[in-house]
Structure 1
Amino acid sequence: MATVLSLSGSPSTSSRTGKLLRHLDTLLAAQGHEVIPLDVRTIPAEALLGADFRHPAIIKATELFAHADGIVIGTPVYKAAYSGVLKALLDLLPQYALTGKTVLPLATGGTTAHILAIDYALRPVLSSMGAGHIVQGWFTLDKDLTAHEDGTLTVAPAAGEALTQVLDQFVSALGRTPLLAAAG
């Protein structure tokens, strides 16, 4: 069983990105992984914006990264890049906080014009932080994610198939049985 840190880089409490990550948390937990959710928006702004490396919330986040085998990072795309709150946290982590980690980058956005944000904005930062393996990222349009009042999420069929494929790659990279193989 791997420990997976599920990091939402959305500043919004009603974020589709956050709901997508919690949906994936359930799938990963069903495979026997220990999943630890972390929403960057819950870290005090003064710690993030003041670059307070000694703030207890920053220390705790650093420890979560250190103990994780894999990290799923989700972000909404704003102006062709990942969120500012996610950037603020990544900047406060140790330079090689992702060394030896398997990372799955995910992004949501309103238009396909942002589809390259993972490869051209987020992936270089993750690489510079020493990620051991960055699996193929996944971008989906907001319209393909329907959040329900009960907290559940419905993913459009075509988007759901693509999501299952990238999640399988992530799970395989963690050394576990892929979801498709387990379901079949």
Structure 2
Amino acid sequence: MSSLVVLVGNPRGGSRTHLAAVAAAEAVGRRIGYEAPPEVVDLSGIGPHLFTPGPSPTVEVALELVAGAQVLLVASPTYKATYTGLLKAFLDRLPGGALAGTVALPLLVMGSPRHALAVELHLRPVLVELGALVPTPGLALLEAEIPDLDRILADWTDRVAAQVAAALERRATA
């Protein structure tokens, strides 16, 4: 079982979403005592395999990695006030309850503050539907804030690290 996994739903490789997601996972990981870097599932590289008929070993490995995470940070750019269709297509491949016992952290990167509620109204519910425990508010990150990412993440981890650690503790004793 992997400890900390990042799922990036941006269709473009090397995106700001990828950068922010990995940095956020590393920041939370440090605060809750995970020493290993997070494993990353970047859907930009496996997107074409999601839409081919029949099973794909690449997709199956990614699904197993995500479903086996203790902590899963799920990130997407905001498209049309929600997460990407690519992320939705991947999450639809997970069976109901696949994230039971997983502590999930939603993160959306957005161009406008008008979309700030999307992280709570759209991304959180799909993670909960899959069985994940989402113990903290998600991170709604404006693209304009990315140059100040270290400060933004320090503030965010100050707010969420204790809740994530407590959720992991409950998970361990359940």
Query: Comparing both structures, which one devotes a greater share of its residues to strand?
Result: 1
What residue in structure 1 maps to residue 149 of structure 2? 155
RMSD over aligned Cα atoms:
2.3
What secondary structure does 2:89 align onto?
Answer: helix
Runs of at least 5 residues in structure 1 that lack an aligned partner in the other structure: 147-153, 176-184
Q: 1:29 to 1:121 in 2, by over 3 A?
A: closer
Q: Which amino acid is the alignment partner of residue 156 of structure 2?
A: L
TM-score, structure 2 normalization = 0.83
The answer to which structure, 1 or 2, has the higher relative contact order (CA under 8 A, 6+ apart) is: 2
Counterparts of 2:72 and 2:153, CA distance in 1: 20
- Report how many residues are paired: 165
Query: Comparing both structures, which one devotes a greater share of its residues to helix?
Result: 2
What residue in structure 2 maps to residue 97 of structure 1? 98
Counterparts of 1:160 and 1:91, CA distance in 2: 29
* C-alpha contact (below 8 Å) 1:66/1:97 kept by paired residues: yes
Q: Note the 1:3-82 alignment, pairs <5 A.
A: 3-28=3-28, 30=30, 31-34=33-36, 35-45=38-48, 47-50=49-52, 52=54, 54-82=55-83
TM-score, structure 1 normalization = 0.79
Runs of at least 5 residues in structure 2 that lack an aligned partner in the other structure: 170-174
Paired-residue identity, %: 31
User: What are the superposed Cα offsets for residues 110-166 of structure 1, whole Å, 9 maximum, x if unpaired?
Assistant: 1011101111111111111111344211101100002xxxxxxx4164x34432235
